[in-house]
Amino acid sequence: MPKRTDIQSVLVIGSGPIVIGQAAEFDYSGTQACRVLKAEGLSVVLVNSNPATIMTDPEIADATYVEPITPEFVEKIIAKERPDALLPTLGGQTALNTAISLHGNGVLEKYGVELIGANVEAINKGEDRDLFKEVVEEVRKKTGHGESARSYICHSMDDVMKGVEELGGYPVVVRPSFTMGGAGSGFAHDEEELRRIAGQGLTLSPTTEVLLEESILGWKEYELELMRDKNDNVVVVCSIENFDPMGVHTGDSITVAPAMTLTDREYQVLRDVGIAIIREVGVDTGGCNIQFAVNPEDGRVIVIEMNPRVSRSSALASKATGFPIAKIAAKLAVGYTLDEIPNDITQETPASFEPTLDYVVVKAPRFAFEKFPSADSTLTTTMKSVGEAMAIGRNFTEAFQKALRSLERKGSQFTFVGEPGDKDALLREAVRPTDGRINAVMQAIRAGATPQEVFDATKIDPWFVDQLFLIKEIADEIAGARELTSDLLTEAKRHGFSDQQIAEISGLGEDVVRQVRHALGVRPVYKTVDTCAAEFAARTPYFYSSYDEENEVAPREKPAVIILGSGPNRIGQGIEFDYSCVHASFALSDAGYETVMVNCNPETVSTDYDTSDRLYFEPLTLEDVLEIVHAEQQAGPVAGVVVQLGGQTPLGLSQALKDNGVPIVGTSPEAIHAAEDRGAFGRVLAEAGLPAPKHGTATTFGEAKAIADEIGYPVLVRPSYVLGGRGMEIVYDETRLEAYIAESTEISPSRPVLVDRFLDDAIEIDVDALYDGEELYLGGVMEHIEEAGIHSGDSACALPPITLGGFDIKRLRTSTEGIAKGVGVRGLINIQFALAGDILYVLEANPRASRTVPFTSKATAVPLAKAAARISLGATIAELRAEGLLPANGDGGTLPLDAPISVKEAVMPWSRFRDIHGRGVDTVLGPEMRSTGEVMGIDSVFGTAYAKSQAGAYGPLPTKGRAFISVANRDKRSMIFPARELVAHGFELLATSGTAEVLKRNGINATVVRKQSEGTGPNGEKTIVQLIHDGEVDLIVNTPYGTGGRLDGYDIRTAAVARSVPCLTTVQALAAAVQGIDALTHGDVGVRSLQEHAEFLTAARD
């Protein structure tokens, strides 16, 4: 039976900002789903507050709302658009929870909106621990297999203590209900840990519920991805086995597809149980993911959990198998059955089958602990990784080593030189799961550990352990070889060794190894991901490399453009860059090129086989890219390689690619160097007559001190060539400068430390612009809310700028043009300026697509990345204006006065991290970027747009209640007016004595509250931290006290995170928030789609 005819319009809810546990995979899923629904002739209404997504591109849906994903705002959208149905299963936990709220508060019923894809009962059965346990028991009765870990449900700390006794003592697992990415869960080994973890879990759970569970640490862990249609046909799309045994969140584990260590009987038990669960839970149509633990001693199967929606794992499974789960889920939701949907890849067989793989897929997580030095790096059942890389090979070792080098981190590849260290110490280290445990394991093997010892320390399955030994034995063979023979190289390559690893082991240069290898004709072939292990012919060129015999890359006629993606998401290089790469692919395909995407990030739209004409799922290293270029040059003409859209990863390869004869299009490697190298860039600025803050470069403390003495403290110090402000710090005095230099281990003459004058109280401005060699197109000017010194990625900003006048814009335009011309940009450039006093300083320039490109594009309704890609291949801005890709007149610097205001706000991952004592990490913003994602608020005035951005990022701003204010001395003056405004809006002010005094003298009454350091008062007066914990504070303003006195603030800020109370850490944010509160209290805040905004803007431009 085909599509339902009673649904004409569907509301799709996205997942909002990128946070740990909910990332780009939902853009991939949501984009697929929206496209499918649109292609089916349905009208698609979309809400997602995240501008850096492809799904929020205006052409993906019919009405795109970049509005906060809260029940209040979604209700406004429903009231306005009146969709027939709501599809809640594609936007992660956020969408599911929002849909449940809208069901619970009667909105869906009121407006006659049908929930499709999953019903409320099924969602509850899948998500509620108690109900799910009943499901598992039912399933056990039917299949004879599967059980729940013995557990105890708790709603209070008393329950928790009772529960431990019931379960027979420690260790126990704590799992809060209804949180995403396993937030708040963990292992408790004693009462202290239990009280802490369970206490936080009770708070985090929207239903104040945690589950205590027997420990199944060290068991084998598996996942199945299933799909079911309305005729009750069920297929298992993929099985995934975790390399890291139970105890590490699956998002933080190295995972392998398909399962490697199950016999058919055991696999079929999991399959039977999985199918019985999806039926019992009642997922009518769509996908779900089920996790299992298997006891390696006897095969006892425990069902851990299920997600009745698409997930990170389903995105991985889609990329791993070529079976697009979200796309199929959307089709099932509108009435198709699996047998009615063709398999995209074969085109001739139906989707009602189970993919079979003739390759191995390995996913490895990427962490960002270096950004949170105080955080405990032990991996637990709370997900902490910020991204992942996937690799495909014809065997495990090949895929595994490719995945490790795809992580693109120093030390992520195995190293086989140098002293491994002490075996016993290494084995002890390997007991604790961490980022990089795998390296400790390999070093332990090198130090002589036996397979049994490795297993005992890690519980990694013996088959995987043997694969590690196999890798090590090959490294030994290379080390022992007198020369690199064809046989030896082939063997090493078949097990995933990179040229760089071979070079390191054999003491040769990487380029020498490559030359030898090429001379011997040892090169990879490219195989197709085809869902069916070659049983049927594949129509989709989705490739991976392998050192095997037969190449499957077909010849082509059209010139190809190879676009290098951005690799695994990390803080500072996320989905924004994928957005630009995808846009380039679309634009260049439209312009008649054959587009070839290279990337290794399974979460993204760029690695959807539908996005580009050809997809290479490969690591983004020089070696891997050179081989792809070679393969494509064999297949047909290659117009060039695009490196400026995927962030620092491809940019870093550009010079080496060029040196190897690869044509780089757009901004040349030399121009990139001119912007990145301090000296060269200084000359560009001097020539254009532009000032930069005083600065110098140093390789020793003495040099740094001399520079600082000359330019004056505070100074901004940072290593050269970094992204995301890694290691950047504002230093207020000599003592700290000395400590900074001492702590910076990577300083060398080729990698000096940059010392800049820090511009206190400056306004920071970001500019995105296009330059074609003749003409400048100012894409957008963003004014930061926070002062200079807070990383631009972590700062909120407004576009158009809210306090800059025409004269400032003119200066920015002139400066931008001067730099773009001086550097030699052909495409996008992003420049950061600081306006201090009346001087416009240039802070830095990046001749590439920036993090803000999607935001700027959406705020101004102009596809900047598409234009950049076209300019790279020779189009001029004038041509693009004529074509209609760029506006006929004006640009982002000449927006009409009544243009909508867009506010970008960063989203921080504080709640994910704990120090080794289990305390939260500090939330103060600084020059090092730590946000994982962003939201956009758009409205006609700044206040409302800001309020929306806050609602989207952290939850709505309070409009009444108690506000606590405690600010550093330097902020006291600027605090007075906003504080008065808060009182005017009916807030009761709380303040510490010093701040209260200042307020009082200015005629503002504030209740004095006790500092944490003062302790509880004689009459039981609570400290501010206690008040926050008790939920008695609705808004917190706390700016850090320079270098000293941070500790009290630390407790306040971490309490705010724990209780999810809005916490503003700059006075600028306070001022903006007051405007937002003002907007919220004055009349109804409306919603408007991007299409409506664009129509308005276009009309105003003409």
Residues that bind another protein (CB under 8 A): 231-233, 235-236, 258-268, 271-272, 296-299, 337-339, 348-350, 352-360, 394-396, 450-452, 455, 461-463, 465-466, 469-470, 473-474, 477, 527, 532-537, 548-550
Looking at the chain, the number of H-run helices and the number of E-run strands are 37, 39
Nearer to another protein, 296 or 994 (CB): 296
User: 1023 CB contacts (<8 Å, ≥6 apart)?
Assistant: 1009, 1010, 1011, 1012, 1014, 1015, 1016
Nearest distance from C-beta of residue 487 to another protein, angstroms: 10
The bridge status of strand 961-966 relative to strand 387-393 is unpaired
Please say whether the beta carbons of 1073 and 946 come within 8 A: yes
Q: Is 104 helix (H, G, I), strand (E, B) or coil?
A: helix
Nearest distance from C-beta of residue 648 to another protein, angstroms: 35
Please say whether the beta carbons of 811 and 689 come within 8 A: no
DSSP 956: P
Nearer to another protein, 236 or 982 (CB): 236
Nearer to another protein, 410 or 482 (CB): 482
Nearest distance from C-beta of residue 142 to another protein, angstroms: 12
Residue 634 identity (one-letter amino acid): Q
Nearest distance from C-beta of residue 593 to another protein, angstroms: 29
Question: Which residue has tokens 């399955």?
Answer: 461
Nearer to another protein, 337 or 545 (CB): 337
d(CA 1057, CA 1050): 11
Q: Quote the longest CA-to-CA distance of the chain.
A: 85
Nearest distance from C-beta of residue 671 to another protein, angstroms: 43
Nearer to another protein, 357 or 442 (CB): 357
Nearer to another protein, 469 or 713 (CB): 469
Phi, psi of 475 (to 5 degrees): -60, -40
Q: Is 671 helix (H, G, I), strand (E, B) or coil?
A: helix
Nearest distance from C-beta of residue 502 to another protein, angstroms: 17
Question: Which residue has tokens 């927006």?
Answer: 895
Residue 558 identity (one-letter amino acid): K
Alpha helices (runs of H) in 356-395, residue ranges in sequence order: none
Nearest distance from C-beta of residue 1061 to another protein, angstroms: 50
List the structure tokens of 26: 């939902």
Nearest distance from C-beta of residue 466 to another protein, angstroms: 4
Nearest distance from C-beta of residue 140 to another protein, angstroms: 16
Please say whether the beta carbons of 746 and 715 come within 8 A: no
Nearest distance from C-beta of residue 568 to another protein, angstroms: 25
d(CA 663, CA 645): 16
Specify the length of the chain in residues: 1102
Nearest distance from C-beta of residue 456 to another protein, angstroms: 10
HEC string for 476-543: HHHHHCCCCCHHHHHHHHHCCCCHHHHHHHHCCCHHHHHHHHHHCCCCCEEEECCCECCCCCCCCCEE
Nearer to another protein, 213 or 223 (CB): 223
Provide the CA 164 distance to its chain's centre, in angstroms: 36
Please say whether the beta carbons of 666 and 819 come within 8 A: no
Nearer to another protein, 264 or 838 (CB): 264
Nearer to another protein, 339 or 746 (CB): 339
Cis bond before residue 800 (omega within 30° of 0): yes
d(CA 402, CA 395): 11
Q: Is 675 helix (H, G, I), strand (E, B) or coil?
A: helix
Nearest distance from C-beta of residue 794 to another protein, angstroms: 45
Which candidate, 473, 525, 520, 524, places its Cα nearest to that of 498?
Answer: 524
Nearest distance from C-beta of residue 236 to another protein, angstroms: 8
Nearer to another protein, 525 or 908 (CB): 525
Nearer to another protein, 537 or 916 (CB): 537
Nearer to another protein, 552 or 590 (CB): 552
Nearer to another protein, 314 or 352 (CB): 352
R_g (Cα) of the chain, nearest Å: 28
Nearest distance from C-beta of residue 1102 to another protein, angstroms: 54
Nearest distance from C-beta of residue 655 to another protein, angstroms: 36
Nearest distance from C-beta of residue 297 to another protein, angstroms: 6
List the structure tokens of 553: 């890359």
Which candidate, 702, 867, 677, places its Cα nearest to that of 772?
Answer: 867
d(CA 421, CA 488): 27
Nearer to another protein, 131 or 534 (CB): 534
User: 884 CB contacts (<8 Å, ≥6 apart)?
Assistant: none
Nearer to another protein, 353 or 369 (CB): 353
Please say whether the beta carbons of 172 and 215 come within 8 A: yes
d(CA 237, CA 91): 20
Nearer to another protein, 357 or 688 (CB): 357
Nearer to another protein, 455 or 701 (CB): 455
HEC string for 535-583: CCCCCCCEEEEECCCCCCCCCCCCCEEEEECCCCCECCECHHHHHHHHH
d(CA 36, CA 131): 33
User: 844 CB contacts (<8 Å, ≥6 apart)?
Assistant: 681, 831, 832
User: 269 CB contacts (<8 Å, ≥6 apart)?
Assistant: 143, 145, 146, 299, 301
Please say whether the beta carbons of 646 and 604 come within 8 A: no
Residue 189 identity (one-letter amino acid): H
Phi, psi of 532 (to 5 degrees): -140, 15
Nearer to another protein, 465 or 674 (CB): 465
